[in-house]
Structure 1
């Protein structure tokens, strides 16, 4: 569902004539980009569960990295290949070793962590996923080997990331829900209405983000920069409502939870990661095809609707194939191989009988 919100946002920001020529409708759809924040919240929830299930820190890393890398690798290489074939825009503007190093950095999910250009647009979120995976691994090592609970310390260490990249704040929403501390944010009467919580989140975070982009300047261009401003109230409301929204879904509250348990919703949830990474690539190709045939010009004020209808089916098909062959088959192969090697290396060495 969250990936679909981002899909609609990308259609709305495709540079085509606004639907029915209405700028007001475009402004109403603009907050859908914040489906990414809900992705972060869901990731925080999943990370806690994965930490609880992991028998070793190494297995936690294997599980998480093999979850994101296979699709990322193929996605980045596809973007590079398409750019080189067209000869336009990045990555085709880079050559030789520069292109090779930038490609490897993108395949590792390092843009935003180091100063390299981003090739696959949605993959910017994975840079911050990696940071939280590393913190999770440190937590597991300390917990399993030294019986130390470093969660408070690691939470403090994550604050600089959240401060300079405020959208990552919502990882903490997922962590609160997974650790059941989210129950303290429940509001009687609203706690069973996730749709209302979602609308409040979109409104409040959109209001906060608009101020963040338009009014703040470095060094205030951080979460701390909001602290001395009344707009921080929007941030508090957004965080609480996002946490309340996820908490309600996890508890199965509301008709929204019933819908998310349907076969259609479960299917889209299965392919959501692949859909999130692949749909901008598919959309760009579809848009180029529609433009080349002149259909966008004919559609006029309905061009965004045409792009939506034309790009959604192939995006689903590509995501289905990606989920089956990359997320499932390739990931299973890599995990089994890495875990086998980890078990062999961890096996105690016995002295030979003399």
Structure 2
């Protein structure tokens, strides 16, 4: 059990989302950085996809009212437990009365607080994720507020050793797989989408120019600022299904990247789709940051997914070994 001591707007309960309902207009929601959520749960020995707290406005503080293990992943938010600094991507154990503090990260956008047993709120349509647009899921479909008490699910045998342990952040462990562009630009791999060729010469400008994430961005979509691109002729399109990662171009010519709370359907032409292995990086991109899109092949996308899966499996095996060692000592 924890209590929220300090929070800001947009901090919510999230899990891996609620797939399977897009046909009736229900967005999947879920963590903007699903990789950080997955690793946090692995470090604690939680069930796959257990709900966590997604923090995107800082500072954030929570009080442990009972003893319990926790993990902080995602953005390096200079976390502290009772004033003692914690390493990034770290799992530890807190005693009753201790306070976990997260501060504004120097890079990236979102941190994830995983709790042993997972955040225990009532599932809606098979998920505990908060849908702010629909006002359901999480804690009554709303953002977290000071004074909220949050319960955890059934706690597994302790999987965190005294002093804690952690994982090497993916940006470090996989720096050759997820490169950073010149001047710190985010490099995002994508595949040409259905209406790519309708943009003629502007399609090339989509790939060659830098784009800035506009302040008019949220969990539904990132609006990108840059030199507008337009199809060679006006195209009337029926609404069609869209998913996170799809890049649409409205009449104004500035692309929109569909994110975790992506619309279920839309009629804007699609110029590209971000490969799934790069979506977590988009989820960590901050408003005002600059990115470039790089065309990828299906083979390249599969290779990146394989490297990412190997990284996750290595952490899972390490966490299992730690859990076995603790069980043998009990």
TM superposition score category, shorter chain reference: under 0.3
Normalising by structure 2, we get a TM-score of 0.27
Greater fraction of residues in helix: 1
Greater fraction of residues in strand: 2
Task: Report which structure shows greater RCO (CA 8 Å, sep ≥6).
Answer: 1
Computing the radius of gyration over CA atoms, which structure comes out larger, 1 or 2? 1
